[in-house]
Amino acid sequence: MKTNTINKKEIEKFSKIAEEWWDPNGKFKPLHNFNPLRISYLRDNIIKTFNIQKKDKILSGVKILDIGCGGGLLCEPMSRLGAEVFGMDASEKNIEVAKIHAKKSNLNIKYLCSSPEKFKSDLKFDVILNMEIIEHVEDVDFFLKSCTKFLKKNGIMFVATLNKTLKSYLFAIIGAEYILKWLPIGTHEWEKFIKPEKLISITKKYELTLNDLRGVKFNLFTNNWELSTDKSVNYIAKFIKI
């Protein structure tokens, strides 16, 4: 029986560069560039699914758990939109950086140094974020099973990750790490990428039904990330717990 999804090598990799989380020109620059698209996609889908009416803090009353939150790059904008946000990460350094930055930003975010299978709680969330995390865990099936127990019925789970294709190897590893130097070499391992069909088949076992699936691509002309029908490299999936 599996009891752990933490990949120590991956935790050490990100812990070493934890101080750079909030540097928009540092090693996490691609995530900073990616963030506006992620935020708008998450916000719009949460509003649509829960039929939220317009108000100042549009996501107030929505309880979000961001798993693999890193330094809090998504936790903070979600908190500013009014959501009650919990951030979870297995790296103590990441959580320390996230806590310090949230305090400086005067945001009330609850950070937890844990992994979903080790987190013992009766808390249930409206939304669970698994953004750019499943390609870094030890066992995707067990990880998603562990995450799902914290999701309310009719709640949303978002999963953003990389497809396992030749194109993703060329673009996300050779291109982004070796040629463009967007990411430190070794950030990704192609063997850990997952095809959307496999992700969907895993989530079905845990009462999650696919609600939306979009490709995400970088537009070199506008220097921005945008949604796409091309899911061959990056993609984002939205699941509803039935």
- Bridge partners of 187, per DSSP, are none
Name 17's Cβ contacts closer than 8 Å, sequence gap at least 6: 26, 27, 28, 184
pLDDT at 1: 55
Q: What CATH number does the domain located at 8-241 have?
A: 3.40.50.150
pLDDT at 55: 79
What order do you get walking across the sheet with 208-219 strand by strand?
110-113, 84-89, 63-67, 125-131, 151-162, 234-241, 208-219, 224-228
pLDDT at 34: 92
Q: Is the pTM of this model over 0.75?
A: yes
How many Å apart are CA 54 and CA 46, to the nearest integer?
A: 12
Per-position pLDDT tens, the chain of length 242? 567 888 998 899 889 899 999 999 998 888 999 999 999 999 999 999 999 998 789 999 999 999 999 999 999 999 999 999 999 999 999 999 999 999 999 999 999 999 999 999 999 999 999 999 999 999 999 999 999 999 999 999 999 999 999 999 898 888 777 777 777 787 888 889 999 999 999 999 999 999 999 999 988 788 889 999 999 999 999 999 99
pLDDT at 2: 62
pLDDT at 178: 78
pLDDT at 204: 97
Per DSSP, the residues of 50-75 read TTPPP-SSTTTT-EEEEET-TTTTTH
- What are the structural domain ranges in the chain? 8-241
How many Å apart are CA 78 and CA 156, to the nearest integer?
A: 15
pLDDT at 84: 98
pLDDT at 215: 98
How many Å apart are CA 34 and CA 100, to the nearest integer?
A: 23
